[in-house]
Amino acid sequence: MIYLDYAATTPVAPEALTAMLPYLSDAFANPASDHAPGRMARKAVEKARAQVAALIGATAEEIIWTSGATEANNLAIKGALEFRGLDNAHIVTSKTEHKCVLDTCRHLESLHGTRALSVTYLKPGSDGCVTAQQVMAALTPRTVLVSLMWVSNELGTINEVEKLSTMLRERGVLLHVDAVQAAGKLAIDLAATPIDLLSLSAHKIYGPKGIGALFVRKRPRARLAPQLHGGGHEQGMRSGTLAPHQCVGMGAAFALAATRLADDAMRIATLRDRLWMRLQALPRVHRNGSGLAAPHILNLSFEGVEGEALRAMLPGLAVSSGSACSSATAEPSYVLRALGRDDALANASLRFSLGRATTEAEIDLAAQQVIDAVLWLREISGEPGVADIPAPTDNAFDYPAPVWAQFLEAGSNSGEFAPGTPGVQTMRVENRASASWLALHLRLVDERIREARFTAFGCPVGIAVGHWLATQAVGKSAAELRALTATELCRALEIPDDKLHCALMGEDALKSIASL
Partner 1 sequence: MPAYLDHNATTPVDPRVIDAMLPYLKGPYGNPSSLHRFGRAARDGVERARAQVAALVGAQPQEIIWTSGGTEANNLALKGLCTGKPRTRLLYGATEHPAVMEAAESLGRDGWVVERIAMTADGLVDWPAFTTQCATGSVRLASLMRANNETGVVQDTARAAPLVHGAGGWLHVDATQAAGKLSLSMTDTGADLLTLSSHKLYGPKGIGALVVKAGVDLAPLLHGGAQERGLRGGTENLPAIVGFGLAAELALLELEARSAQVHALQQQLEAGLRNIPAVTIFGADAQRLANTTQFALSGWDGEALLMHLDRKGFAVSSGSACASGSGEPSHVLLAMGIDPAIAKGAVRVSFGKGNTTDEVRSFLEALQGFAKQ
Please list the active-site residues.
325
Distance linking the first and last C-alpha atoms of the chain: 50
In sign, the C-alpha dihedral spanning 335, 104, 188, 13 is negative
The CA-based angle 495-449-477, given to 5 degrees, is: 80
Window 244-263: residues binding partner 1 (CB under 8 A): 244-246
- Show the site string, 377-396: x = touches partner 1 by CB under 8 A, - = not: -------------------x
Contact pick of 220, 397, 412, 496 for partner 1 (by CB under 8 A): 397
Which three-class secondary structure state does DSSP give residue 228? coil
Q: Which runs of E-coded beta strand occur in 334-474?
A: 349-353, 424-431, 436-445, 448-457
* Residue 193 engages partner 1 in binding (rule: CB under 8 A): no
By CB under 8 A, residue 346 contacts partner 1:
no
Q: Scanning residues 118 to 157, which ones bind partner 1 (CB under 8 A)?
A: none
Using CB under 8 A as the binding rule, whether residue 38 contacts partner 1 is answered as: yes
Q: How far apart are CA 214 and CA 198, in angstroms?
A: 6
Closest CA to 428 of 453, 395, 464, 391: 453
Amino acid, single-letter form, for residue 88: N
Rule CB under 8 A: choose which of 208, 458, 462, 466 binds partner 1: 208
- Which x/- pattern, by CB under 8 A, does the window 267-306 give for partner 1? ----------------------------------------
**Contacting residue, 19, 20, 182, 183, with partner 1 by CB under 8 A:** 20
Q: Which of 63, 253, 319, 486 binds partner 1 (CB under 8 A)?
A: 319
**d(C-alpha 72, C-alpha 202), whole Å:** 12
Binding residue (CB under 8 A) for partner 1 from 15, 22, 32, 59: 32
Q: Are 96 and 152 in contact (CB under 8 A)?
A: yes
Kindly state whether residue 91 participates in binding partner 1, applying the rule CB under 8 A.
Answer: no
**If binding is defined by CB under 8 A, does position 243 make contact with partner 1?**
yes
Does 318 bind partner 1 (CB under 8 A)? Our answer is: yes
Q: Which residues make beta-bridge pairs with 91?
A: 119, 145
Closer to partner 1 by CB, 229 or 284: give it. Answer: 229
Contact (Cβ atoms closer than 8 angstroms) between residue 100 and residue 92:
no
How big is the site for partner 1, counted in residues (CB under 8 A)?
79
Would you tell me the crossing angle of helices 500-511 and 460-473 to the nearest 10 degrees?
30
Binding residues among 321-340 for partner 1 as defined by CB under 8 A: 321, 324-330
Residue in 22, 24, 116, 364 binding partner 1, rule: CB under 8 A: 24
